[in-house]
Structure formats: structure tokens, C-alpha cells
A and B are shown apart, each in its own frame.
Chain A
Amino acid sequence: MKRAGTSESGRELTGMLGKKSEGETQKPELRTEKRTRRLAQAIRWEFILGILLLIAIVGGQTLSPDFLTAANWTNLLANFVEIALLALPLTLIVITKEIDLSVASVLGLASSMLGFLWQTRLPMPLILLGCLLAGALAGLLNGFLIVQFRLPSLAVTIGTLTLFRGFSFVLLGDRAIADFPPEYSNIGFGTVGFVPIPFLLFLILAIATAVLVHATPFGRTLFAIGGNQTAARFSGVRTQRTKLILFTVSGIISALAGIVYTFRFMSSRADNGTGFELSALAAVFLGGVSVEGGKGTVFGTFLSLLLIAVINNALTLVDVSNEILTIVTGSLLITSIVLPNLLSRWRQQFRPRHFAQTTTAVAQSVPQNPS
């Protein structure tokens, strides 16, 4: 049964690729097989991203002499900080095979809340605390619906994406609040040397997240959940509690991003950060985190964020319009999945077929989405 199914889909795929059937191309490949496999092990996705980043930096420098200046890097690093903050908890969530599309709406909610509460002349530290609390509650709501009612996170967070954005509009309407005290502007655009303070904040959080994910038992459980939730649960991982924590943390960090955004532009509006969820998601996927869960690194996300920021900045310097940037982001995102897939399929074709492999081939030929 399985065998028949596989050979059919396999033939179909090779047909689509326009390649010859296995028998004809077997001989020369046996020699290269070992080499390709060794190469594949050495070339991790982060390595490719690093090289791309290097190319982008060199390219940026050749395109514009202003690129490698401290002032420009201040600008570059500050510009991507909100999306970078959103992408951090999102990385963890995607590793557990869930998704959070509401992050940008929580950003907007925190930003509106900041403006709204500032009008009531409460002391600023209290307001900031309130914003973070609102973020935590928003994340908790997501987590609660997903964990308690076992709802798919994609549907839940599409709902809360609209809901939280709606709350922002209820709070502020179409007003903009901009009379924030200047002493808080440092949260948005203060610098230490040439490094913006919000970027330092992001860096600390990124390192903390990386340690948490890759060097603690808690981090390992994330991969276990993403790989096989049932197996994880039977191994004693408290899957539901972990998810609740992740979504709540995601809410808090998104609210933090909202505070940074508000102070960076000194403006609180209900539509702040609209559409950022897609940019953050694109960065996470480009960073090598798999939608199928159980795979990915914080470092990969970090590199992909930096890559997108560098490309954006370099193209802006040479007056390439914003539209092209959108196309570049989208193409990078798709290429980041298509390329490894094609490579692995190409590699697989030259391997001797075992029964075990044929079953995975069936599973792989099923397109999935996280739900």
C-alpha cells in the first residue's frame, strides 16, 4: 500500500522537476552522495544566513559610502527593533508548532493604552506597568483559549488580532497623542555610543531567550512539544502550561515593543504597527524555524532579522523604493523554504531507497499548516 502511494507521488514529483527516473542517473551520483551528505551536515541554515548577511553588508558598502557609518547603523538597528522584539517570543511559539498573529495588535494596544493613560496624568512608571500588564492579559487570553478550549492558535490569534486592534480604536479612536515627556524619549531613541538603547534591550532579551531555549530543560521541552505533542505529554512535559506561559510572555514582550514604538516616534495611535505580525512572522520563518514545529534557533531568527534590516537599509540608502523591499522580503521568505526542500529532494533521489524512507516520503508530500 505505502510503497504504491510513494512511487506514485515520487514519479509525479520527478516528472514535475523534469528529471529522469532514478535508474538512469544512479551511477555518477553514488560517488557524490557521501560528499553531498557531509556538505549538508556542515551547511546549517544559520551559516547560509550569515554568508547572505555578509554579502548584504559588503553590497551595502559598495552601493553607498554612507552605509558603514555609525550614524547609519544607529538608524538601521533602531528601525528593526520592534519587529525584532515581536519575533523573539514568536520563534518559541512557532517551535512548539503554534502561531501568534496577534503580536502587532498587542503592540498597538499597548501603544494606545500608553497614550490613553498618559492623558489621565497618572505617573509614568505606573502607566508603563499598566501597559505591560495589559499585554500579559492579552497573551493570557490567547493562551487560555488555545489551551483550555483546545482551539487552533491560527484561528484564535486571527480573532484576537482583530479584537485587540479593535480595543485600541475603542481607546483612542482616530486621535494621536504626542505630548509625552521628553525624559522618556530615551526608551525610544537614546543611544549608548552608536548603539540605540532599544536595541540593547532587544540584545539582552535575545541572549536570554537563546540561553532559555538552547541551554535549559524548559527549552528542550519546547522542541519536544513541537516535534510530537502527544509523545511530549506522555514523557511528562506539561505541554499546556508551557504554551500558556509562552503566549503570556509573547503578550508582555509585544507590549514592551509597543512602548518602545510609542517613544521612538513620540506618538501613540490606534493603528501603530499595523501589519507588523507578518513581518515578524516572515523573519521567524526566514530564520529557519519550521512551521511544522520542533525545529529552529533563536540565532537563526536574529540573523534573519539583521539580514532584512541590512537589506532594507542598504536599498533605502540608494533610493530604491519601499515596494521593492516588500518584494525582496517575500522572495527571501519563499526561497528560504524552497531551496532547502529542493536540495533535500535532490539528495534523496540518489539515496538507496529503504522502506522506512518511503513512509516518511508519504508524510513529507503532505502540505501542512500549523493548526
Chain B
Amino acid sequence: MGTLRNREYLSGNFGRLGQLWERWLRSRESWLILLLALLVIGTASMNARFLGPQNIKDLMLNVSLIALLAIGQSIPIIMRQIDLSVGSIVGITAFLSGLIFFGHPNTPSLVVFLVGTGVGLLLGAVNAGLIIWGRVPSLIATLGTLYIYRGADYAWVHGRQINAANVPSSFLALGNIGFLGVPLLMWIVILFLILIGTILRRLPMGRECYAIGSNPAAAILAGINLHRRVSIGFLFSGAIAGLTGVLWLARFGTVDATAGLGIEFQVVTAAVVGGVAITGGTGTVIGAALGALLLGVFNSALVVLRVPPFWQQAFQGTMLLVAISVDAYLAHRLAIRLRIKRSHV
């Protein structure tokens, strides 16, 4: 971090361009991209197969589902909430979509997408109701619904399984086809990045989310309707989880009651690595998606470099710890600099 002073120097000399440059240097996203680039170049130089078209495609497909969930998850986290129930929602809507095709093979894919997203929205509404109306802290409320939704999923599925043969091939193709060399799933992620990213960054509604996350009591006194914002956040998170469930079926074809089991911590990890602080008020959805990408690339690199897969989790955990430690360190530095600045004024 010795470059901090240099950057201030730069920004002083280059005016607006320098400011943009400084902001870019200071943003979490640029560091994530740098880290990604280093990781990709390093791995590819050791094994060229890493950049093979098949490997890249697999990587993008694997990352996109987690990235989508991480985008949804970052909305509650920015508001100092957490949604642990996303994995269970994915499980329910994945099987539900399969069941629709099982009963009515000719259902248009769009209908299935709408039903899946709608069910996710409904389950998200239950979360929101518990948190706002029942005043249950979101950690407990979504921990409870994690159990309830998964239990309901098991009870309802009852050991059945949807196989790829039950799902129309046109639907399965959605999880596989590409457009301009990028898989459709990735395009959906990009679409949501733009949509939610714009809402959070540009609209008053989005800015209010950051205000709530920074200081809930102050946000209320400033006239922000905290209840409405928080419940909308959980609706979004639920709906995105529902959509991810439908895509889960398109991607894997075979689905039983365990789809998305235990995925919640992976999603939170991706978001936090991407700079969405668990204490709320900071972070972007692009960061969250990049966090998911970084974790995915890391796992894939381990496979290509023939490291036993058992190391994956250890690395993933380390990455989260390093990310939050670096964040804390930078915040500490910033606090010191601000204190010095203030004392000189």
C-alpha cells in the first residue's frame, strides 16, 4: 500500500481523468480483475489446457449459477441482513420446474421460468414477512426457513428424481448453448448485473439500501422506509434464487431434493470476497459476481494443476479470511489517514 501517496499525487495532476483513475485503482473490482488475470496467466503458463474452449465454457457455466445467487444475496447483505434460505429455494424451484415438464412435456420454457421465479418470490415474501412483520432477525428467520423449505422439499419430492430424459431437449439446451461465444447463463448473469447494478448505483431506492446498511437508525430518521426496502430486498433475493433453481435444472438435467444443498455459505463467501461487507453498507453486485468468478477460476485452476480436489474448500476458506482481513486493514489505514487530515485542518 505504499502506492497510496503516489495515487494522491496522480489525482492532483491529472484532474478529472486522474480522479477516475484513482477511483478505479481504489475499487475492489479492479483488484479482483487483476488477481483474476494473474491467476489465469499463471495457471495457463503451467498448463495451456486451462484456456481451452471446453474448459472456459465449463468454467463459465459453473460460475454463472453461483454468481447469480451472489448478486441476489448482496442486496440483503448491503442492508446489513443475510438470506441463508437461498439454497433451499433453489432446491424447491429446480424440482418444481422438472415436475412441470414431467407432467406437461410441452410447456413453454418461458412459463416454467415465470413459475420458478414466482415461487422464489413467494418464498422470499415469507422471509420478508417474518423479518418485518414478525421482527425476527434475518439470520434467524432465514435459518428457520432454510430448514422449513428444505424439509418441505424433501417431504414433497419423497425420493423421486427428475432425469434429463424427462426434460425437453430444447430446455436443456438453454443451459448449454452460447451466444457470441458466451453461454446463455452468463448472459443472464450480465443482464442481472446491469439491472440490479443500475438500481443500486443510480436509483434513490438503491442508494437507500446503502444508507440502511451503513446506519439503520439514521436511515429511519432520514425518512427512509426501512421496512419496505428490506422486504423488497428479500423479494429480489428470493426471486433470483427461484430463477437460479430453474436454470439449475437446465444446467444439470438431473434433479432430486438435494439441489443446491448447503450452497448458502458458498454464495455468501463469493459476495464477501467480492467486497460486499457482511456489516452492510458497502459493495457492488459486480464485485459479488467477480468474487464468484474468482472462486470458480481458483477451483478450476486447482483441477487443471492436478491438485487433489480436497484442497478446494481449504483454499476457499482462506480466500474469504484474507479478503476480510485486507478489507479491515484498508479501513484501518483510511481511518488513520482521515484522523491525520482532520487534525491538520
A interface residues, Cβ below 8 angstroms from B? 1-2, 5, 9, 12-13, 16-17, 99, 101, 145, 149-152, 154-156, 158-167, 169-170, 173-174, 270, 274-275, 278, 281-282, 285, 291-292, 321-327, 329-331, 333-334, 337-338, 341-342, 345, 362-371
Q: Are B314 and A334 in contact (CB under 8 A)?
A: no
Q: Which of A17, A149, A166 contacts B310 (CB 8 A)?
A: A166
Q: Are A367 and B220 in contact (CB under 8 A)?
A: no
Chain A residues lying within 8 Å of B154, measured Cβ to Cβ, are: 321-323, 326
Tell me whether B145 is interfacial, beta carbon within 8 Å: yes
Q: How far is the CA of A162 from the CA of B323 in the complex (A)?
A: 14
Q: Which of A5, A170, A173, A321 contacts B220 (CB 8 A)?
A: A5
Q: Are B321 and A334 in contact (CB under 8 A)?
A: no
User: A366's closest neighbor in chain B, by CB?
Assistant: B216
Chain A residues lying within 8 Å of B80, measured Cβ to Cβ, are: 368-369, 371
Tell me whether B150 is interfacial, beta carbon within 8 Å: yes
Given A156-B324, A162-B320, A163-B321, check contact A292 B137 (CB 8 Å). Answer: yes
Q: Min CB distance, B324 to chain A, in Å?
A: 5
Q: Are A278 and B139 in contact (CB under 8 A)?
A: no
Q: Are B217 and A363 in contact (CB under 8 A)?
A: yes
Q: How far is the CA of A322 from the CA of B316 in the complex (A)?
A: 31
Q: Min CB distance, B154 to chain A, in Å?
A: 4
Q: How far is the CA of A133 from the CA of B335 in the complex (A)?
A: 37
Chain A residues lying within 8 Å of B144, measured Cβ to Cβ, are: 282, 330-331, 333-334
Q: Are A278 and B325 in contact (CB under 8 A)?
A: no
Q: How far is the CA of A323 from the CA of B277 in the complex (A)?
A: 34
Q: Are A9 and B227 in contact (CB under 8 A)?
A: yes
Q: How far is the CA of A92 from the CA of B320 in the complex (A)?
A: 25
Chain B residues lying within 8 Å of A371, measured Cβ to Cβ, are: 80, 278-280
> What are the interface flags for B306-317 relative to A under an 8 Å C-beta threshold, 1 for contact and 0 otherwise?
001011111111
B interface residues, Cβ below 8 angstroms from A? 80-82, 130-141, 143-148, 150-155, 216-217, 220-221, 226-227, 230, 262, 265-266, 268-269, 272, 277-280, 308, 310-318, 320-321, 324-325, 328-329
Q: Are A326 and B148 in contact (CB under 8 A)?
A: yes
User: A17's closest neighbor in chain B, by CB?
Assistant: B133
Q: Min CB distance, A324 to chain B, in Å?
A: 6
Q: Which of A101, A158, A282 contacts B272 (CB 8 A)?
A: A158
User: A164's closest neighbor in chain B, by CB?
Assistant: B317
Q: How far is the CA of A333 from the CA of B144 in the complex (A)?
A: 6
Chain A residues lying within 8 Å of B132, measured Cβ to Cβ, are: 16, 367
Q: Are B230 and A367 in contact (CB under 8 A)?
A: yes
User: A327's closest neighbor in chain B, by CB?
Assistant: B151
Q: Are B325 and A151 in contact (CB under 8 A)?
A: yes
Most chain B CB within 10 A, of A1, A163, A368, is at: A163
User: A167's closest neighbor in chain B, by CB?
Assistant: B314
Q: Min CB distance, B215 to chain A, in Å?
A: 10
Q: Min CB distance, B335 to chain A, in Å?
A: 11
Chain B residues lying within 8 Å of A337, measured Cβ to Cβ, are: 134-137, 140-141
The 7 closest A-B pairs by CB, nearest first: A163-B317, A166-B314, A330-B147, A166-B313, A326-B151, A162-B317, A159-B320
Q: Are A291 and B137 in contact (CB under 8 A)?
A: yes
Given A149-B325, A163-B314, A366-B220, check contact A330 B151 (CB 8 Å). Answer: yes
Q: Are A342 and B134 in contact (CB under 8 A)?
A: yes
Q: Are A9 and B317 in contact (CB under 8 A)?
A: no
Q: Which of B136, B280, B312, B315 contacts A338 (CB 8 A)?
A: B136
* Known pairs A150-B328, A169-B310, A270-B310 / 14 extra A-B pairs, C-beta < 8 Å: A17-B133, A151-B324, A162-B265, A162-B269, A163-B317, A164-B317, A166-B316, A169-B311, A337-B140, A338-B135, A367-B131, A369-B82, A371-B278, A371-B279
Chain B residues lying within 8 Å of A342, measured Cβ to Cβ, are: 134
Q: How far is the CA of A299 from the CA of B148 in the complex (A)?
A: 26
Q: Are A159 and B148 in contact (CB under 8 A)?
A: no
Q: Min CB distance, A108 to chain B, in Å?
A: 11
Q: Are B310 and A330 in contact (CB under 8 A)?
A: no
Chain B residues lying within 8 Å of A9, measured Cβ to Cβ, are: 220, 227
Q: How far is the CA of A2 from the CA of B220 in the complex (A)?
A: 10
Q: Which of B147, B152, B308, B328 contacts A173 (CB 8 A)?
A: B308
Q: Are A274 and B265 in contact (CB under 8 A)?
A: no
Q: How far is the CA of A173 from the CA of B307 in the complex (A)?
A: 12
User: A163's closest neighbor in chain B, by CB?
Assistant: B317
